[in-house]
Structure 1
Amino acid sequence: MNAITLNTTATGRSGTNTTPYGVALLRIALGVMYLTHSLVLKVYTYGMDGTAKFFESIGLPGPLAYVVVALEVVGGILLLANVKVRWVAAALLPILLGATWTHAGNGWVFSAPNGGWEYPVFLIVASVAVMLADEKR
């Protein structure tokens, strides 16, 4: 019986498979995004008090801001360290869904007042892609 084989290299040609490099690049980009959005935006730019007040202004409990920032920092570090990638990406999805909900009324594009919802939706898709591609399971 003849076996059918599929060529799974990123180029479609025989040779080096570059797919793991692409997955690693996406994982690292997500880790950096979580760290910058938590530390640079929420901690250093707005301050934790300002971030908590923003959460309250949209109907969320202020202390939830501290939980979100902590999860983003730890999650970003774990993604960068390539530790439990699938679980980390899945655990951070509720934060991205919350960000999508927060910006839903602002329109699609980032240049809309208070930011649009395209960026968190893109990050959801990127997170799911990283989850699906993680070979360590």
Structure 2
Amino acid sequence: MTDHRLAPYAALTLRLALGAMFLAHSVVLKLFVFTLAGTAAYFDSIGLPGWLAHLVFAAEAAGGVLLLLGVQTRWVSLALVPILAGATWAHAGNGWMFGYPNGGWEYPLYLTVLALVQAMLGDGALSLSPSRRIPAPRPASYA
């Protein structure tokens, strides 16, 4: 049975984890570790236009901040799904495990699923722009 009292906090926990992951992958990894020029070169090496790396970086950074704040969580999560699906595609040739050389596809696919789940759950607790709430169904009363 679902505990509806805890559901908003479960959605909050997922939202914070996804937001932190997007910031880590954009700002820390793409900007400071690989650099934007290095990320663009990687995109070129796998057949994508290098300029797309800058758009992906911006979307991940902005999306991470918006998720952490709880701003339009459903739409932000859905907007980030194509980026995660693209990451899954980019790592598909490296095998399943993300621990393999150059990273496999398991982690990006997992994150894609989590973003879809977040879109279904909505904002959760402590969001700046909460989505319209759908009331939970009430059990039938037996009189």
Letter in 1 for 2:53: A
Match of 2:57 in 1: 69
Match of 2:43 in 1: 55
Which has the higher relative contact order, 1 or 2, with Cα contacts under 8 A spaced 6 or more apart? 2
Aligned-residue identity in percent: 53
One of 100, 106, 131 as aligned partner of 1:118: 106
Equivalents in 1 of 2:99, 2:120: separation in Å?
A: 31
Deviation at 1:121, TM superposition (A): 0.7
Q: How many residues align?
A: 125
Tell whether 2:3 aligns with 1:9: yes
Deviation at 1:110, TM superposition (A): 1.3
Match of 1:41 in 2: 29
Match of 1:90 in 2: 78
Q: Which runs of 4+ in 1 moved over 3 A?
A: none
Match of 1:128 in 2: 116
Deviation at 1:8, TM superposition (A): 4.1
Unaligned runs of 5+ in 1: 1-6, 11-16
TM-score w.r.t. the length of structure 2 is 0.84
Deviation at 1:57, TM superposition (A): 0.3
1:113 match: secondary structure: coil
Letter in 1 for 2:8: P
TM-score w.r.t. the length of structure 1 is 0.87
Equivalents in 1 of 2:107, 2:2: separation in Å?
A: 30
Tell whether 2:17 aligns with 1:23: no
Letter in 2 for 1:90: L
